[in-house]
Every structure is written in structure tokens, then in C-alpha cells.
């Protein structure tokens, strides 16, 4: 851990050397929960692919097609090692977390659920881990139930344990909350679910870039993540599923590459993983994701966990000292996400003002409208850190938020003075 140097890592990311506009402030990128920036190594791998390795995969007899196929399948093996899956065939390439959840809710949910069954999701789920389950429940007559949380944003594990019964068929929870930073005890969630025979999907979108991932240790039945939040390109992500579950599920999309044989009377399907990868996939995306995995593996994800925790604690402490600022999400176990609201200032105004200082943060409901309802707020401002962020980035954020506070106070006192003289 002592050997991790965020300044050295930063140098690999071209965009972090830029200003937000010509002659404008330096970019302080704190929206890593939305997407991460890409290192030169990933950008180069994608360029190299299109410059000298591009061909369609799994079909050409010629050498170039074999090169592209090898690259694509070697990216799959990198994914397998990265999440410690037992078999590379359990790692399917999809467009991202959203498609991964929809695949499971569609192929598993719509075929296995029936009236009287229950699907559990948590209060803090992203819309992409709610809506696909609502659709599956509407189509099958199953019921969607919600695991509650306390005011700190921690799941109520006792309540969860009580909700489980032989009716529970599926539990879908996030590993790390994008809106509050809460880390959920997914290993315990899975163990309890398995006791009643339910299957478990873990949304790893916010986790994989920030701490080591071990799908077998969690004993997740399904685990999903997006390449673009792991320093890789957009358009590619991973659905991990246990082999026997994937084999028992019907295909997601029909088309080329997912079949064994086709006649007008009947088609038979290919083995895993091809069965779930109809059509020409995002080959360059897989190559880029493979390069991103190589990149973080060479640094060692475990080596920067402490650095991100240090940024989290430093930012929390500095921001908490600003009058009228309240941190949203105060769980004991948190990832490097700091969400907050400020008295008398709308999140959108905070975000717009910070943009003027070069500080990129997210404002809004973070695709978690039910969570915002539970919290009784419309939105938050969220700073989310990655390994390449530094204490100077936190200082820039805090200074900008302090400015927003002072300007707002000045406006309020001018209004009060005008009121008195009137
Ligand atoms: N789940 C969580 C927790 C997320 O943070 C996100 C992205 N904001 C998603 C799912 C959806 O990911 P994507 O848009 O890449 O499919």
C-alpha cells in the first residue's frame, strides 16, 4: 500500500492533464461514479486493434480473424481472473451493467418466476436494478419487495433476514451504492438468500474499480459490472453467472454466433458463452476492457484501497466543517463516494457553480429516485473518487463549495438588508 503513488498513476491519463476550456481552470474530475477516465494504455490498445488487428471473430479462416478472436477470448480470460470466476465460460460480454441485469431478469426472471413468488431489491438500488425486476414481476405475477435501510444508509439486515421465506426466489442488491457510497455485506446477503433457495445478483458497477472482487467468495449467482467505470471503454460490460444457471436459461437474443444449427423447424443453441452473445459483439470494447484490467492489475487494486479511503475521510471531514452542509450516507463501511446537500442551495446550482471552478461532480437523483424518496430529498451533489484523485483534488472541491456557501450567505444577507430598509 505504501508503494501506491496517485501522482504517478495520474500521468497515464491524458484527460487529467487538460483544462476544462481553453485558458480555463484545470480539470478536477470527481465524477468517477458516472464513468472513469481512460489511461493511455487502454486508448492505445483500442487504436492498435483498429489499426492492425480488426476483423470479425469466430468465423474467418484467415489469420487476421484468428488474431481478433484470440484477443477477444483473451479479454474474457482476463475478466475471469479479475473476478476469480471458476470458468471463463461463465463470463459473458454484455453492453454494461444495465444489459447484464436485464439479461438475468429476462432470461431467468421471466421464465422462472410465477404468481406468489417474491423478488427482493434494496432501497438503495440504481434504477437499472429495479425496473428490469418490476417488468419481470409484472409479466409473471411475482411480487417485488424492498429491503429497508436505516438513516445512515445501511441495509437493515435483521429485517432482510425476516423477509426471506420459501416464497423468495431472487435477491438483487448493489455491492456499493452509487448515491451514498454504502458497502453492502453481499456475502451475508447471499448466504441468507441461499438458505431459502433464492438466487442472488450483485450489482458490482461501483465496486470493481475500487476494491478486489471475488465472485466465488461472495458466492454470487450473478455479478454484473460496466467496463467504463473500470477505466475501460463504454459499450462493454460483464455478466458473470454460475455455469449451471446460465446453461438452464433460455437465450437472450437470437441471431448469428449463438446457434449450433438452424432449420426453419427448430434451432439448437451454442454452448456457453456464445449462447448469450448473438451477433457481432463489441470486439474493440472487449480489447479495451482487457487492457483496463491489465492496467489495474499491474497497479494492484488492493494497493490503492487505503488511498481512496484516505480521500473519503479527508473529504468527509473537510466538507462536514462547512456550515449548513449535510453528508448523505454515513454508513460505517463506505466506498469513496461523498454525497451532500446544503441548506438553501439546490444541488443543480452547486454543481453548476463547481463547474465554473473546473470541478466536475454529479448532481441529481443519481438514478435512485426511490432512495431519494426514502431520504426525503430531491437530489444530492456527489463527489466520487478514483485512485488517480489526490488530496489537492479534495482541497479544490472544498474551496469551491466554501465559495458557494459564502456567495449564498452574501445573497441572503443582502436580501435581509433590503427587507429591513423597505
Ligand atoms: N448500477 C449502479 C450502482 C450504477 O452506479 C450504475 C451506473 N451509474 C449502473 C448500475 C448502470 O450502469 P450502466 O449505465 O453502465 O449500465
Whose cell is 472482487? That residue is 213
Evaluate: CB of 117 within 6 angstroms of ligand 1: no
Q: CB-side exposure of 311: number of CA atoms within 13 Å?
A: 27
The SS3 call for residue 247 is helix
Q: What is the reported pLDDT for 419? A: 86
Residue 367 alpha carbon, nearest atom of ligand 1: 8
Task: Among 97, 177, 204, name the best residue to mutate to test ligand 1's pocket (greatest count of ligand atoms within 8 A of Cβ).
Answer: 97
Q: What is the reported pLDDT for 60? A: 82
Residue having the nearest C-alpha atom to atom 8 of ligand 1: 34
ipTM above 0.90, yes or no: yes
The reply to whether 367 belongs to the active site is: yes
CA dist list (Å): 367 to 124, 151, 286, 352:
10, 19, 26, 19
Task: Among 36, 95, 98, name the best residue to mutate to test ligand 1's pocket (greatest count of ligand atoms within 8 A of Cβ).
Answer: 98
CA 33–ligand 1 middle distance (angstroms): 8
Task: Among 123, 226, 386, name the best residue to mutate to test ligand 1's pocket (greatest count of ligand atoms within 8 A of Cβ).
Answer: 226
Evaluate: CB of 36 within 6 angstroms of ligand 1: no
Tens-binned pLDDT, residue by residue, of the chain (422 aa): 458 999 999 999 999 999 999 999 999 999 999 999 999 999 999 999 999 999 999 878 999 999 999 999 999 999 999 999 999 999 999 999 999 999 999 999 999 999 999 999 999 999 999 999 999 999 999 999 999 999 999 999 999 999 999 999 999 999 999 999 999 999 999 999 999 999 999 999 999 999 999 999 999 999 999 999 999 999 999 999 999 999 999 999 999 999 999 999 999 999 999 999 999 999 999 999 999 999 999 999 999 999 999 999 999 999 999 999 999 999 999 999 999 999 999 999 999 999 999 999 999 999 999 999 999 999 999 999 999 999 999 999 999 999 999 999 999 999 999 888 77
Q: What is the reported pLDDT for 420? A: 83
Q: What is the reported pLDDT for 59? A: 79
Residue 73: what are its φ and ψ, rounded to 5°? Answer: -75, -25
Evaluate: CB of 122 within 6 angstroms of ligand 1: no
User: What's the rounded Cα separation, in Å, for the pair 172 and 181?
Assistant: 17
CA 22–ligand 1 middle distance (angstroms): 31
User: What's the rounded Cα separation, in Å, for the pair 6 and 8?
Assistant: 5
Evaluate: CB of 178 within 6 angstroms of ligand 1: yes
Evaluate: CB of 226 within 6 angstroms of ligand 1: yes
Residue 96 alpha carbon, nearest atom of ligand 1: 16
Q: What is the reported pLDDT for 2? A: 53
How far, rounded to the nearest angstrom, does the alpha carbon of residue 54 sit from its chain's CA centroid?
A: 29
Evaluate: CB of 96 within 6 angstroms of ligand 1: yes
Q: What is the reported pLDDT for 152? A: 98
Among candidate residues 91, 137, 367, 368, the one labeled active-site is 367
CA 250–ligand 1 middle distance (angstroms): 25
Beta-carbon contacts of residue 267 (< 8 Å; ≥ 6 apart): 254, 259, 260, 261
Amino acid at each position: 500500500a505504501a508503494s501506491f503513488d496517485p501522482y504517478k498513476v495520474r500521468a497515464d491519463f491524458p484527460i487529467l492533464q487538460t483544462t476544462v476550456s481553453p485558458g480555463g481552470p484545470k480539470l478536477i474530475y470527481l465524477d468517477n461514479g458516472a464513468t472513469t477516465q481512460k489511461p493511455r494504455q487502454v486508448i492505445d490498445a483500442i487504436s492498435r486493434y483498429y489499426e492492425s488487428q480488426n476483423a470479425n471473430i469466430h468465423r474467418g479462416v484467415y489469420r487476421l480473424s484468428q488474431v481478433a478472436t484470440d484477443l477477444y477470448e483473451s479479454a474474457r480470460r482476463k475478466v475471469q481472473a479479475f473476478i476469480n470466476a471458476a470458468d471463463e465460460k461463465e463470463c459473458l460480454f454484455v453492453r454494461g451493467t444495465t444489459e447484464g441485469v436485464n439479461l438475468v431478469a429476462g432470461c431467468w426472471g421471466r421464465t422462472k418466476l410465477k404468481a406468489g413468488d417474491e423478488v427482493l431489491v434494496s432501497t438503495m438500488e440504481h434504477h437499472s436494478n429495479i425496473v428490469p425486476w418490476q417488468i419481470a414481476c409484472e409479466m409473471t405475477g411475482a411480487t417485488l419487495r424492498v429491503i429497508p435501510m436505516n438513516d445512515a444508509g445501511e441495509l437493515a439486515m435483521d429485517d432482510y433476514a425476516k423477509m426471506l421465506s420459501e416464497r423468495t426466489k431472487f435477491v438483487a442488491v448493489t455491492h456499493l451504492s452509487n448515491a451514498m457510497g454504502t458497502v453492502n455485506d453481499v456475502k451475508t446477503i447471499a448466504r441468507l438468500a441461499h438458505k431459502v433457495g433464492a438466487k442472488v445478483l450483485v450489482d458490482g458497477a461501483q465496486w470493481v474499480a475500487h476494491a478486489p472482487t471475488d465472485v466465488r467468495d461472495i458466492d454470487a449467482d450473478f455479478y454484473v459490472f460496466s467496463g467504463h467505470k473500470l477505466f475501460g471503454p463504454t459499450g462493454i460490460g460483464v455478466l458473470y453467472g454460475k455455469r449451471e444457471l446460465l446453461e438452464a436459461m433460455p437465450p437472450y437474443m437470437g441471431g448469428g454466433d449463438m446457434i449450433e444449427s438452424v432449420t426453419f423447424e427448430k434451432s439448437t443453441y451454442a454452448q456457453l458463452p456464445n449462447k448469450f452473445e448473438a451477433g457481432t459483439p463489441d470486439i474493440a470494447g472487449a480489447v479495451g476492457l482487457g487492457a483496463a484490467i491489465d492496467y489495474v492489475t499491474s497497479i494492484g487494486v488492493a494497493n490503492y484501497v487505503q488511498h481512496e479511503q484516505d480521500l473519503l475521510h479527508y473529504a468527509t471531514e473537510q466538507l462536514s466543517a462547512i456550515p449548513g452542509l449535510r453528508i448523505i450516507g454515513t454508513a460505517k463501511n463506505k466506498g469513496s463516494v461523498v454525497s451532500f446537500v446544503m441548506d438553501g442551495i439546490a444541488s443543480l446550482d452547486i454543481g453548476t457553480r463547481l463547474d465554473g471552478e473546473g470541478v466536475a461532480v454529479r448532481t441529481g437523483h443519481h438514478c435512485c429516485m426511490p432512495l431519494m424518496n426514502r431520504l426525503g430529498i430531491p437530489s444530492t451533489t456527489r463527489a466520487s473518487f478514483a485512485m488517480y484523485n489526490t488530496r489537492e483534488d479534495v482541497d479544490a472541491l472544498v474551496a469551491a463549495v466554501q465559495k458557494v456557501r459564502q456567495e449564498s450567505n452574501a445573497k441572503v444577507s443582502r436580501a435581509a438588508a433590503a427587507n429591513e430598509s423597505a
